[in-house]
Structure 1
Amino acid sequence: MTDQVEELIKEIAAKHGIAVSRDDPILILQTINARLMQDSAKAQQAMLDQYKEELEALALRWGNDAKTKAERILNVSLAASKDAAAKLMQEGAKEAAASVRGEIDVALRRVAGPVRDARRISALNVAASCITCIAAAIALWAAVH
């Protein structure tokens, strides 16, 4: 503080050409002004610190809110993608079943003709066997009588 007073006395002398002593009332004003400036600076620093704390609290709250909303959005997106995947899998399964059914139908149509022919042949074989049995029975009856 003494250095400030000495510097002030020198500055007044240099600028205004007036010699001021240490007990001059103008220096009392300078001391009061310096004290008010210090008190004001401390008060402003305290307000800035409080404002900084409030901003940090707001930033933290906003960050948490953003994180919560992002998690909600992510969960909704995940659920939607699971539903979409399930629908696609179901459609794929239906298409695969239809394709397999179509191939089985084609294979059955290919086999149906030979199966009909085999049935006819087996029916003819049964008829021929019956006729052979009847002929054998007639021959046996004729040989016995």
Structure 2
Amino acid sequence: MSDQIEELIREIASKHGIAVARDDPILVLQTINNRLLQDSAAAQQAQLDQFKEELEAVSLRWKADAKDKAERVVNAALAASKSAMDQILRDGAHATTSLLKSELERAFSSMASHAHEARRTALLNLAASCMTIFAVVISVWLLK
């Protein structure tokens, strides 16, 4: 502090050409002014520190809010994607089922017509066998 006062006395003497003593009232004002500047700087620093803490708190709150919103968006997208995939799988299963059903109906229809034809052939064979047996019985009876 004494170095500052000495430096100030020299500066006043060189700029203004006035000699000032250490007990001059102007130096008292300078000391008061320096003290006020220091107190003001300390108060401003305290306010800046408080502002910094508030900004950090707001930043953390915004970060948490942004994270929550991002999670909700991702979860909604996943749910929509899952729903779309389920719908596509259901549509594919229905298409496969209807295709399989139509193929089976066509195959059963073809098999039914073949079975009907085979039954008719079997009945004709049965009638022919019965006629053959009847003819054999008649021939054996006539030959006796």
Counterpart in the other structure of 2:54: 54
Counterpart in the other structure of 1:93: 93
Distance 1:68 1:98 in 2: 44
Aligned-partner residue type, residue 119 of structure 1 = R
Is residue 122 from structure 1 mapped to residue 122 from structure 2 by the alignment? yes
Aligned-partner residue type, residue 10 of structure 1 = R
Query: 1:21 aligns to what SS in structure 2?
Result: coil
**Structure 1 residues 119-128 or 85-94, which shifts more?**
119-128
**Structure 1 residues 107-116 or 119-128, which shifts more?**
107-116
Counterpart in the other structure of 1:44: 44
Counterpart in the other structure of 1:8: 8
Query: 1:38 aligns to what SS in structure 2?
Result: helix
Shift of 1:82: 0.8
Structure 1's unaligned 5+ residue stretches are none
Counterpart in the other structure of 2:26: 26
Shift of 1:106: 3.9
Distance 1:138 1:83 in 2: 80
Distance 1:141 1:35 in 2: 153
Query: 1:5 aligns to what SS in structure 2?
Result: helix
Shift of 1:112: 4.5
Number of corresponding residues: 144
* Alignment map for 1:60-139 (pairs within 5 Å): 60-139=60-139
Compute the TM-score of the two structures, normalised by the length of structure 2.
0.88
Distance 2:63 2:141 in 1: 110
Distance 1:59 1:140 in 2: 116
Distance 2:21 2:127 in 1: 151
Shift of 1:14: 1.5
Compute the TM-score of the two structures, normalised by the length of structure 1.
0.87
